[in-house]
Every structure is written in C-alpha cells, then in structure tokens.
C-alpha cells in the first residue's frame, strides 16, 4: 500500500510526499512510517500510542473509523492511505491587497496559491553569509515573499565583491555587509523582516542564532564554518540548504533533514589546509554563485511549501563550462558521528578540526647568528613570517623569494620574484636547488598555496623555508598601497 504524506507533515518526512509499505494493517503501515521518519511520531500519535484526535486516516475514500476493523483493517496492495490533519489555514498570517497583487503570479499556481504564499510569509530563513551565494539567494527569497530573512556576516563590502555579490553596490563599498544587504532587500520588498547578525558564526553562538529560524541556508566559503553549520543544523533539527562553488563548478544539496544524510556523511573530514584553494585564491566565474544561489533559494521555497522533490539524499553537480547538470545519490551513513551514531553531542572547535591555525601575532624580525629568522610562529612545521619581515629581508638582500602563483596572476601584480606555480614545484625542484641552504620566503596571493609549497620544499630537504602570511595581498595592503589587489 501507499501512504500519502500531506504537505504540512512533509518537513518531518524529509520532504517526501508518499511512503510505500507492505505492512499487513493500516496501523502497522503507520508504525513503519514513523520508524522511517521519527519526527512524524509526535505529530501522529500521542504518548499512549493512539492516533491523535486532529488526524484522520482514510483508506482510499473511506474514513478508517467507518471500517469495521478500524486501524487494524488489512488494505490491498494497491490501496492508498491518506493522512488528513486539521489545517489552521496558513499560520496566523494574512495577505493584504497589495501583497496579493505583488504575488499574483504565485497565487495562480495551484501548488502555491493563497495558502502557500501565507506559508512563505510565515517562514523564517537564515542566510549564513551575504556573499556570492547568499546575495542572490536572499534577494530571490525576499522577492518571493519569505516573511523573515536572517543575515549573518561580519565582513564589509569590498570592490572585489561586486563582480558576483549583486546584493551590494558601488555605493555601499566600505559598509557592513549586513547593512548593505538589508538596504537592498528592503528596497526590493518593504514587507520583508530582516534580522541582522553582524558577527562571526561560532560554536558559542550558532545554536542560539539558529533556534529562531525554520531553515538554514549555507552560503559559506570555508570548511570550518561549513562543518559548524552542518553540526548546528543536525543538533537543532533544522534543514541545511547547502551549496559551494569553485572556479566554474558548483554543488548543491539539502543536509540535516530527518531521513537524509548530513554534510559529514558525504565528507567525514575536511581536506588538509591549502589543498583546496578558496575562491579568493582559485577564482570563480562571477555568474556561477548566482546560479547556485538561485538553486538554493528554489530548494528553500520547496521546503517551505512542501512541494516537489527536494535535494535530500541527492548531490547536484553543476559544470558551467560544459553547461551540464548531474545528480548523484547520497545515503545516510549509519556510522556518521553526527547524524548516525550521534557521538558528537555538542559543537566543537572547528578551526582545530579543519587544521586551521589560530590568529597569531608575529613579533618584529629577529635574525639568528646564521641568518635565519628566529622565533617565527609556526604552522604545521612551517615558520610563518609577515610581509614586514619579507620587506626587511629583501632590503638586506639575504633571502631568496619564491612566487608560487600562476603566470596570469603575476601579470596583475608581482614582487619580481622567480615564478614556479605550486602545481609544478615538485617537478621543477632542481630550479631552486642552488638555494637549498639559504632562507627561502615563499609567497602566493593569500598564504595558502605558499604553505603547501613550503611543505614540498621541506620534504625535498630544504632546511630554511618560510611561508609569507597573507601573501602579495598583504603586501599591497601594508607595504605598497599602489599595487593592485585582486
């Protein structure tokens, strides 16, 4: 038999609209349903295990209460069991004539209608980040009529954001991103309630921030926050509408839903720091986050309305150069420490988990008797130096500087150092062999790839290798403001 799950209950059933079972009785079928989707249990049965009085069950067109055996009735294989809960009428929300005119194209869709639009107005969605993904996502959610949109971001608008973060503008450069985003969203839909969090999302505040929202949309750009969002969503029982982008490709899914996997099921642990460059280091096609952000907004709206087939248990892969879309199946990992065995019961230190060093103050340049930098802060066995130290050593002329960026990056800005991209360094190690006993300062754009390059040199027997923190971007900010930043 097939059990039809009504729209109001689909959020408790992983977004599914039906459930097939070969149970012998209606009662047994409903018990299988709640075993598969435990969050449904309290919505269907009371503490004594009796069907709640505000829920009716039909076998085809017949109320089960009118059947002689009631819930113990034995349905046929092709029978349909309908769960009919009482509906209050779209939360305690009304639509004004102005809103009816605004959302008219929604209202004439049978799948949305007045009740669906009221659900959108009653919904509360938190956008984690107002950058490339969060910008289009928040704008389309506001335009669609989502009543409350939370924005969490601690950054300020920079010129480099405008290539893809369309919620910000030339006139808001230098403004807090949450303020800039609010300004745009209010201009788009004055009825949208904007809740701002001008703060970094941390293990200390995530659960408190998440508790007032129905759906969390992950627009983050680093692994620490991505795992934090995942874990906080699982612990708080909130769906996590996820997307990520890199260069010309993107991914999207929904994690943390009751029946589906979480992000840790797909990626149990993060890659080593520096292995996967951020968009700031690797670049991104400006239109790509718009595409993925709109996919996220679509999935959020589907969850709110309880329509369609959400990306729960599926990973969407987008290749913008080939303009191809693939969907892969994902399964919940029973051994996942977050959503499977539940070993993780509280939020952890995500910098430590992802192997990211804590911010460290590096003192003024000190040189030992043999010319090496002394007392430099270390990360993963590689001493870290500042651009101020790099400048001092370059003036003295007693250091070899190596640029490990790509050739097209050196065309934008350069320190005049020899260029060997990190991806070819292992094969070209002989080109720097003559500097094996010298101090080698390695730089890239921001410091991630140079850390990786320093590890390669160290493994090849180079003894005095240092990573330049912040890379050429820090040089442009603190040493030479006339140098272009990218």
| 169 Cβ contact partners less than 8 Å away, ≥ 6 residues apart | 162, 180, 184
> How far, in Å, are 106, 260, 273, 354 from residue 333 at the CA level?
38, 9, 25, 21
- pLDDT of the residue at 92: 67
Quick: pLDDT tens for 20-79.
999 999 999 999 998 998 888 877 888 778 887 778 898 988 888 888 888 899 989 889
Nearest Cα to 254, choosing from 313, 298, 340, 328? 313
- pLDDT of the residue at 38: 86
Question: Do 44 and 92 contact (CB within 8 A), yes or no?
Answer: no
- Ranges in the chain annotated CATH 3.10.20.30: 2-85
d(CA 46, CA 57): 15
CATH architecture of 2-85: Roll (3.10)
Burial letters for 197-214: b for 16+ Cβ neighbours within 10 Å, e otherwise? Answer: beeebebeebbebbeebb
- Ranges in the chain annotated CATH 3.40.50.720: 123-353
- pLDDT of the residue at 324: 94
Nearest Cα to 125, choosing from 176, 192, 179, 73? 192
DSSP conformational letter for 5: P
Quick: pLDDT tens for 251-305.
999 998 877 899 999 999 888 766 666 777 777 888 999 999 999 999 999 999 9
- pLDDT of the residue at 378: 84
Options 3.40.50.720, 3.40.50.410, 3.90.1640.10, 3.40.630.10; CATH for 123-353 is 3.40.50.720
- pLDDT of the residue at 90: 44
The distance in angstroms from the start CA to the end CA of the chain is 60
Active-site annotation, residues: 279, 444
- pLDDT of the residue at 357: 62
CATH architecture of 377-478: 3-Layer(aba) Sandwich (3.40)
Given strand 465-468, what is the order of strands in its sheet? Answer: 377-379, 382-385, 465-468, 440-443, 400-403
Beta bridge partners of 340: none
Question: Residues in the chain with pLDDT < 70?
Answer: 86-92, 273-277, 357-376
The answer to whether the pTM exceeds 0.75 is no
- pLDDT of the residue at 367: 32
- Ranges in the chain annotated CATH 3.40.250.10: 377-478
Nearest Cα to 440, choosing from 461, 412, 411? 461
Question: Do 146 and 192 contact (CB within 8 A), yes or no?
Answer: yes
CB atoms under 10 Å from CB of 179, counted, come to 17
- pLDDT of the residue at 283: 79
- pLDDT of the residue at 6: 83
- pLDDT of the residue at 351: 86
């Amino acid at each position: 038999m097939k059990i039809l799950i009504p729209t109001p209950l689909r959020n408790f059933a992983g977004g599914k609209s039906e459930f097939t079972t070969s149970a012998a009785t209606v009662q047994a079928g409903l018990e299988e349903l709640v075993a598969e989707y435990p969050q449904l249990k309290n919505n269907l049965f009371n503490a004594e295990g009796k069907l709640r009085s505000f829920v009716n069950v039909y076998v085809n067109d017949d109320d089960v209460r009118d059947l002689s055996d009631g819930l113990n009735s034995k349905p046929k294989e092709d029978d349909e069991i309908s769960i009919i809960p009482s509906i209050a009428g779209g939360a305690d929300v009304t639509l004004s004539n102005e809103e009816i005119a605004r959302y008219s194209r929604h209202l004439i869709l049978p799948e949305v209608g007045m009740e669906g639009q009221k659900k959108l107005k009653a919904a509360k969605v938190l956008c984690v980040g107002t950058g490339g993904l969060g910008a289009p996502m928040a704008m389309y959610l506001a335009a669609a009529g989502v009543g409350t949109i939370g924005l969490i971001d601690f950054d300020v608008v920079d010129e480099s954001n405008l290539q893809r973060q369309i919620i910000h503008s030339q006139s808001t450069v230098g403004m807090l991103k949450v303020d800039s985003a609010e300004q745009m969203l209010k201009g788009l839909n004055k009825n949208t309630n904007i809740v701002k969090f001008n703060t970094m999302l941390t293990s200390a505040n995530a659960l408190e921030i998440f508790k007032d929202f129905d759906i969390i949309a992950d627009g983050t750009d680093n692994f620490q926050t991505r795992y934090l969002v995942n874990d906080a969503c699982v612990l708080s029982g909130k769906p996590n509408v996820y997307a990520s982008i890199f260069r010309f490709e993107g991914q999207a899914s929904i994690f943390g839903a009751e029946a589906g996997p979480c992000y840790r099921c797909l990626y149990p642990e993060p890659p080593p720091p520096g292995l996967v460059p951020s968009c700031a280091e690797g670049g991104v096609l400006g239109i790509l986050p718009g595409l993925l952000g709109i996919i996220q907004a679509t999935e959020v709206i589907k969850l709110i309305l309880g329509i369609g087939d959400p990306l729960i248990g599926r990973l969407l892969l987008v290749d913008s150069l080939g303009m191809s879309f693939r969907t892969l199946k994902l399964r919940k990992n029973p051994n996942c420490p977050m959503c499977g065995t539940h070993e993780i019961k509280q939020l952890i230190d995500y910098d430590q988990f992802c192997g990211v060093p804590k911010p460290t103050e590096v003192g003024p340049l000190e040189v030992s008797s043999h010319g090496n930098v002394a007392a430099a802060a270390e990360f993963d066995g590689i001493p870290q130096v500042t651009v101020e130290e790099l400048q001092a050593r370059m003036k003295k002329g007693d250091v070899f500087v190596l640029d490990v960026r790509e050739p097209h990056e050196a065309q934008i800005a350069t320190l005049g150092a020899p260029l060997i991209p990190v991806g070819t360094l292992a094969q070209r190690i002989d080109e720097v062999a003559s500097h094996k006993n010298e101090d080698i300062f390695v730089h890239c754009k921001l410091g991630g790839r140079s850390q990786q390059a320093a590890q390669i040199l160290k493994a090849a027997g180079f003894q005095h290798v240092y990573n330049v923190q912040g890379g050429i971007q820090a040089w442009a900010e603190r040493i030479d403001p006339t140098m272009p930043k990218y």
